[in-house]
């Protein structure tokens, strides 16, 4: 979810057009389209996790698109790099105090709902789910790694038992957040040719390294050893960062051709999800497609812009982090009251409605208050939320 990345809300409260940002405005824009689209990505993950009841009802190609919806996490990673660059390119992260404020904002953004999701997962285990004959040491390692955001650093050790599985993406995000303030100053100094070289390296890395890891580990240790590994995904964040720099350099072209960028990006992502292709092609497609979609939405006008700026759509995007994290526990709870979203289509519809409603309530009643409380404890009143959420 990622689905699941975030930006300091105090930086995103002033509405600025993409054109004014491109021309050097010192106030980063709150781009509603990049908030709203997060809902579609989170919903894609939900559909992929509970799609069994849909298979008999929809054509094979469309079902393939839905079934591979978990790859939307790659879009979240690219989006994180894009938004973090969008926000912090006008901020100073060179001082210790600035980095402290940054880390508090990051923790306040992802931790409250993350720990609630872990707690719901543990309660689910206590209630009898995810049983397995694992030693206490294995359970302890799994729990500690998840609560410290480190499970994606050594998935071979903590891949079992499987519980609160989607939280692995937050471990990947946390690795990016930790590195970001230390590499970002150097990143901003890179010239266009250097950025192109970094982009090529990032694309090659994201295509080749996961493919090699899959080839070496799937037969012996299973998919989760490579798929849940933080070292598979740095290229996605880097590409997001580079695309945001490209937006500034080629703003006129992006503004002029945004419909084409958006259409081609959506087409590329749809292609690698409809058809079962090799991992290197899946990753390359999501890198390219996500980049084009972000540029298209960032510069969108007319009907597309109006749709994504609808308050209801933006609210769904703001609540998408909660939807991504807690749709699994919500499904487990409904199973215990004889509602089976994976078996019956009508149950699936009910589950989806309940999950979205719970996510909106969680955003308003838990996420915003908790974020405000955490930032206020560190005497950072400028970062308090005033009823709106960040684009990431």
Q: How is residue 161 written in tokens?
A: 């038992």
Identify the CA nearest to 321 among candidates 286, 370, 367: 367
Which phi-psi region, left, alpha or beta, contains residue 204 (left: φ > 0; alpha: ψ -120 to 50)? alpha
The model's pLDDT over 125-166, given as tens digits with 9 standing for 90+, comes to 877 666 667 888 888 888 999 999 999 998 888 878 888 889
Q: What is the distance between the alpha carbons of residues 242 and 232, in angstroms, rounded to a whole number?
A: 18
Residue 322: closest CA among 279, 346, 356: 356
Domain residue ranges in the chain:
9-383
User: How large is the average pLDDT for residues 188-204?
Assistant: 96
pLDDT category at 24 given cuts 50, 70, 90 is very low
> Averaged over 17-42, what is the pLDDT?
69
- Summarize the chain as % helix, strand, coil (round to 5): 75, 0, 25
CB 370 within 8 A of CB 108: yes
Are 89 and 27 in contact by the 8 Å Cβ rule? The answer is: no
Question: Which residues are CB-neighbours of 310 under 8 A, at least 6 positions away?
Answer: 36
Residue 219's pLDDT is what?
A: 67
Q: What is the pLDDT of residues 69-104, one digit of tens each?
A: 999 999 999 999 999 999 999 888 989 999 999 999
Task: Report the 10 Å Cβ neighbour count for 312.
Answer: 8
- pLDDT tens for 200-221 read 999 999 999 999 999 888 766 6
User: pLDDT class for 379, splitting at 50, 70, 90?
Assistant: low
Contact 334, 354 (CB under 8 A): yes
Number of H helices, E strands in the chain: 19, 0
For residue 21, pLDDT over 60 is answered with no
Q: Of all residues in the chain, what percent carry a pLDDT higher than 70?
A: 87
pLDDT in tens, 285-342: 999 999 999 999 999 999 999 999 999 999 999 999 999 999 999 998 898 889 999 9
Mark residue 338 as left, alpha or beta (left: phi above 0; alpha: psi -120 to 50; beta: remaining): left
- Kindly report which listed range (8-12, 80-84, 202-206, 382-386) carries the lowest average pLDDT score: 8-12
């Amino acid at each position: 979810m990622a689905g699941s990345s975030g930006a300091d809300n105090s930086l995103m409260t002033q509405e600025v057009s993409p054109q004014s940002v491109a021309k050097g405005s010192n106030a980063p824009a709150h781009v509603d389209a990049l908030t709203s689209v997060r809902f579609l990505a989170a919903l894609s993950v939900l559909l992929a996790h509970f799609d069994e009841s849909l298979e008999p009802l929809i054509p094979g190609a469309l079902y393939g698109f839905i079934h591979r919806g978990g790859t939307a996490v790659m879009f979240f990673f690219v989006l994180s790099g894009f938004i973090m660059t969008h926000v912090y390119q006008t901020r100073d992260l060179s001082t210790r105090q600035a980095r402290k404020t940054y880390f508090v904002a990051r923790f306040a953004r992802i931790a409250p709902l993350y720990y609630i999701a872990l707690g719901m997962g543990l309660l689910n285990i206590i209630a009898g789910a995810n049983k397995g004959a694992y030693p206490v040491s294995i359970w302890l390692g799994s729990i500690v790694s998840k609560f410290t955001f480190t499970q994606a650093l050594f998935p071979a050790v903590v891949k079992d038992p499987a519980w609160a599985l989607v939280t692995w993406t937050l471990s990947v995000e946390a690795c990016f957040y930790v590195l970001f303030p230390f590499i970002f100053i150097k990143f901003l100094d890179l010239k266009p040719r250097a950025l192109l070289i970094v982009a090529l390296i990032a694309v090659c890395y994201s295509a080749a390294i996961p493919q090699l890891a899959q080839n070496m580990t799937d037969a012996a240790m299973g998919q989760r050893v490579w798929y849940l590994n933080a070292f598979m995904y740095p290229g996605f964040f880097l590409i997001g960062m580079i695309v945001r720099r490209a937006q500034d350099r080629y703003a006129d072209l992006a503004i002029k051709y945004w419909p084409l960028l958006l259409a081609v990006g959506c087409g590329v992502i749809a292609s690698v999800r409809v058809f079962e292709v090799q991992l290197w092609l899946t990753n390359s497609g999501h890198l390219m497609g996500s980049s084009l979609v972000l540029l298209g939405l960032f510069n969108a006008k007319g009907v597309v812009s109006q749709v994504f700026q609808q308050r209801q759509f933006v609210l769904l995007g703001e609540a998408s982090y909660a939807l991504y994290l807690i749709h699994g526990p919500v499904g487990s709870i409904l199973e215990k009251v004889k509602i089976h979203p994976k078996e019956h289509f009508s149950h699936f519809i009910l589950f989806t409605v309940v999950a979205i409603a719970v996510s909106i309530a969680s955003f308003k009643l838990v996420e915003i208050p908790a974020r405000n409380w955490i930032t206020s404890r560190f005497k950072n009143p400028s970062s308090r939320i005033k009823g709106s959420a960040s684009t990431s």
